[in-house]
Amino acid sequence: KAGVTQTPRYLIKTRGQQVTLSCSPISGHRSVSWYQQTPGQGLQFLFEYFSETQRNKGNFPGRFSGRQFSNSRSEMNVSTLELGDSALYLCASSSTSGGTGETQYFGPGTRLLVL
Amino acid sequence: GDSVTQMEGPVTLSEEAFLTINCTYTATGYPSLFWYVQYPGEGLQLLLKATKADDKGSNKGFEATYRKETTSFHLEKGSVQVSDSAVYFCALSASGGSYIPTFGRGTSLIVHP
């Protein structure tokens, strides 16, 4: 099976712009989660989508949004970019409708640099 | 709330040395515990997991035992290789409420030849 893919791999934007990142989960996986990884804050959960519905949400401002399509592909959008949004954005997919032992499968990430 | 505490890095070892990376957790109920590894330029990948007390997860020579009495899940390997150089993340997924994993800050491992 193909793994989780994320596009683009690298992005450079300027403050105030908006950006859309894309994630294609492993075939058959219906849950997609997004994380922000920075050296200072580590790995922080953004949100999770399951069957096109946002099921869980982390503590990020409303500038961060996402959606999931019927084929389980997901996008996240960041509007009005700030310098502090520079990070590696990771997408992860899992197969079930929820469960504590479920493994998350991560993509390689999109590295966003905001100038 | 749930939390995971890992030892600070970087951990620097010579090839064939013994590795221990400490991880302790705070959670309600009976969480599942995980170790993920992130190689340079890549996303995280599952290394091993344990879903109940006293379970031992193992993979690629790495082991960790779920110790409920000490709320710990320390990662060990008997003989590390240069190729093990990476960042290691301990994580838990709680049994009540949201099952979204909580990750530790990560521990960087550097193995010298």
- For B22-90, give the DSSP string: -EEEE-SS--EEEEEEE-TTS-EEEEEEE-STT-EEEETTEEEE-BTTTTB--EEESS--GGG-EEEEE
Cβ pair A105:B31 closer than 8 A: no
pLDDT of residue B101: 87
Closest chain B C-alpha to A99 CA, distance in angstroms: 6
Distance from CA of A109 to the nearest CA of B (A): 6
> Any chain B CB within 8 A of the CB of A62?
no
pLDDT tens readout for residues A60-76: 999 999 999 999 999 99
In the prediction, which pLDDT does B96 show? 61
Angle subtended at Cα A39 by Cα A100 and Cα A67, rounded to the nearest 5 degrees: 50
B3 pLDDT tier (thresholds 50, 70, 90): very high
Q: Which residues of chain A have pLDDT under 70?
A: 96-100
User: How much is the pLDDT for A38?
Assistant: 93
SS (H, E, C) A17-76: CCEEEEEECCCCCCEEEEEEEECCCEEEEEEEEECCEEEEECCCCCCEEEEECCCCCEEE
**In this predicted structure, what is the pLDDT of residue A85?**
97
pLDDT (0 to 100) of residue B21: 97
Q: What is the pLDDT of residues B73-102, one digit of tens each?
A: 999 999 999 999 999 999 998 766 567 889
Asked whether residue B13 carries a pLDDT value surpassing 70, the answer given is yes
DSSP B96: S
B99–A109 CB contact, under 8 Å: no
Q: Phi and psi for A73 in degrees, rounded to 5? A: -60, 150
The shortest CB-CB distance from B49 to any of A4, A43, A101 is to A101
Cβ pair B101:A104 closer than 8 A: yes
Q: How confident is the model at residue B30 (pLDDT cuts 50, 70, 90)?
A: confident
B44/A106 CB distance under 8 A: yes
pLDDT at A10: 97
- The pLDDT, as a whole number, for residue B41 is 87
3-state secondary structure of A85: helix
CA distance A43 to A36: 6
Amino acid A96: pLDDT:
67
Q: How far apart are CA A29 and CA A92, in angstroms?
A: 10
Tokens (6 digits) for A94: 């899992």
